[in-house]
Amino acid sequence: MPATEHQQSFLGRISIRRNQVIAMDGNHEQELEDLELFQRHTGDRFADLLSLPDDSPFPGETFLSISWLRKLVDVLLCCEAEFKALLIMGRDPSQIPKPPLDRLLIDFMERTVKVLDICNAVSGGVDSIRQCQKLAEIVVSALEQKPIGDGQVKRARKALGPLMSALTTDDKENNHSRYAERTWSFGRRGSNSGGNHKDRATHGPFRSSSMVVAKNWSAAKQIQSMCSNLTVPRGGETTGLAQPVYIMSTVMVFVVWALVAAIPCQERSGLSTHFQIPKQFGWAHSIIGMQEKIGEEWKKKEKKGSAGLLEEMQRMEKLGQSLIEFVDGFQFPAEAEKLEEVAAQVAELAEICQRMEEGLIPLQQQIRELFHRIVRSRTEILDLLDNGKASQPII
């Protein structure tokens, strides 16, 4: 069953339960069944991501590509909707402030604030990739010309320099020296977020046009902090609401971790070592599989010094290195065989630019939707906590 059908079926079932009067024993059995469905749907969605099915709705999808990341964010949005339904719909508010759920929800609320900051950082990273796309389009425009002469090669070289610098830059060097303020999680933007095109170009391709962060802000530390109090439910907690809180927290951490690994963000050193997922849960098997694959790629990235694991950026970097060799050694007229090779590389670079043009803005819109969804969910859960405390009898 597709993810959207899973979600509609699950939400419909919870909605029906909300309007029914069920005996306590029956209600407990129903909650156990709902919890089992939530775990199964979560596992199925991530299994689809790991297997990369041929009938994917996103053409050209590969692991850690733009379209794959769009599907990843969509999975988080679906899981978040089911989690909120499981936690809130048909719930007696007086159940919420009781331990250990009260403490777990407070930790969850703090974790979501960090997710909001990472959403801002990733959205800014998408802007930086779009700047790389513009530079790559200049290279394509120059080297598509026939015949290729000194003027076209000079224009391509001028764009390839900053492009390759951006694609191989170190996170800390790239960001800490350029971002002076922080965009806070709930919508306040820094004063340097605008500026004309010339100002942005002066700061290079990784000057974000949508957000700025403090010099000491670290995506890696944010994720590490999110994991610090992420503990596995034990004993009776495994059959109560503590379990879906843990599942949702793990899913949330994994998704933002994968986004930070793929998209350029400030300070990501040691990202592959920050959290582990227990293997005893069936819903976690596919997440662990993807985590291992991304972790191995990240270790290579740290050795190589490239800007991110996004598949399109990796391909763009390889093509850029080859095209730099061509323009640096260019002599007119170039050999026919070499021109054919370059034409194929330019066509591939154009195809990457097209995929970026089609996918980056929708990805950024999904990240913004995730941001606003989490803000709304935080408000609803905090209201539930407040109502639960108010409904408790005074002793």
Does residue 383 fall inside a structural domain? Answer: yes
What is the structure's pLDDT at 171? 53
Residue 172 scores a pLDDT above 90 = no
Band of pLDDT at residue 203, cut at 50, 70 and 90: very low
pLDDT over 90 for what percent of the chain? 51
Residue 140 covered by a domain: yes
What is the pLDDT at residue 198? 37
Please indicate whether residue 120 or residue 211 has the higher confidence score (pLDDT). Answer: 120
* Pair 220, 269: CB distance under 8 Å: yes
| Mean pLDDT across 277-306 | 86
User: What average pLDDT does the segment 345-360 reach?
Assistant: 97
Higher-confidence position of 360 and 204: 360
DSSP for 141-180? Answer: HHHTSSS--HHHHHHHHHHHHHHHHHHT--HHHHHHTT--
- Long-range Cβ contact pairs of 242-247 (< 8 A, separation 24 or more): 242/100, 242/101, 242/104, 243/35, 243/39, 244/35, 244/38, 244/83, 244/86, 244/87, 245/87, 245/101, 245/104, 245/105, 245/108, 246/104, 247/38, 247/39, 247/42, 247/79, 247/83, 247/281, 247/283
Mean pLDDT computed over 344-348? 97
Residue 73 placed within a domain: yes
Does the pLDDT at position 190 exceed 70? no
pLDDT at 278: 87
Q: What angle do CA 243, 249, 255 make, to 5 degrees?
A: 135
Tell me the average pLDDT across 303-331.
89
Question: Tell me: the pLDDT tens digits for 59-94?
Answer: 557 899 999 999 999 999 999 999 999 888 767 777
The Cα 279–Cα 213 span in angstroms is 35
- Say if 26 falls within a structural domain: no
pLDDT tens digits for range 216-269: 889 999 999 999 888 888 876 666 788 999 999 999 999 999 999 999 998 888
- Count how many domains the chain has: 1
Binned at pLDDT 50, 70 and 90, residue 154 comes out as: very high
For residue 75, tell me if it sits in a domain. yes
For the chain, the first-to-last Cα distance in angstroms comes to: 49
User: In the prediction, which pLDDT does 382 show?
Assistant: 87
Q: What are phi and psi of 209, to 5 degrees?
A: -95, 0
Helix (H) or strand (E) holding 288: helix 285-304
Mapping DSSP onto H, E and C, the string for the chain reads CCHHHHHHHHHHHHHHHHCCCCCHHHHHHHHHHHHHHHHHHHHHHHHHHHHCCCCCCCCCCCCCCHHHHHHHHHHHHHHHHHHHHHHHCCCCHHHCCCCCHHHHHHHHHHHHHHHHHHHHHHHHHHHHHHHHHHHHHHHHHHHCCCCCCHHHHHHHHHHHHHHHHHHCCCHHHHHHCCCCCCCCCCCCCCCCCCCCHHHHHHCCCCCCCCCCCCCCCCHHHHHHHHHHCCCCCCHHHHHCCHHHHHHHHHHHHHHHHHHHHHCCCCCCCCHHHCCCCCCCCHHHHHHHHHHHHHHHHHHHHHHHCCCCCCHHHHHHHHHHHHHHHHHHCCCCCCCHHHHHHHHHHHHHHHHHHHHHHHHHHHHHHHHHHHHHHHHHHHHHHHHHHHHHHHHCCCC
Residue 7 lies in a domain: no
Q: What integer pLDDT is reported at residue 205 of this predicted model?
A: 41
> Is the pTM for the entire model greater than 0.75?
yes
pLDDT on residue 47: 94
Question: Nearest-CA neighbor of 366 among 159, 53, 115, 123?
Answer: 123
Q: Mean of the pLDDT values across residues 207-216? A: 56
262 part of a folded domain: yes
Rounded to the nearest integer, the mean pLDDT of the chain is 80
Q: What range does the domain containing 354 cover? A: 37-49+64-391
Residue 13 scores a pLDDT above 70: no
Q: Residue 32: pLDDT above 50?
A: yes
> Distance between CA atoms of 80 and 29, rounded to whole angstroms?
22
Pair 378, 109: CB distance under 8 Å: yes
The answer as to whether 21 is a domain residue is no
Mean pLDDT of 267-287: 85
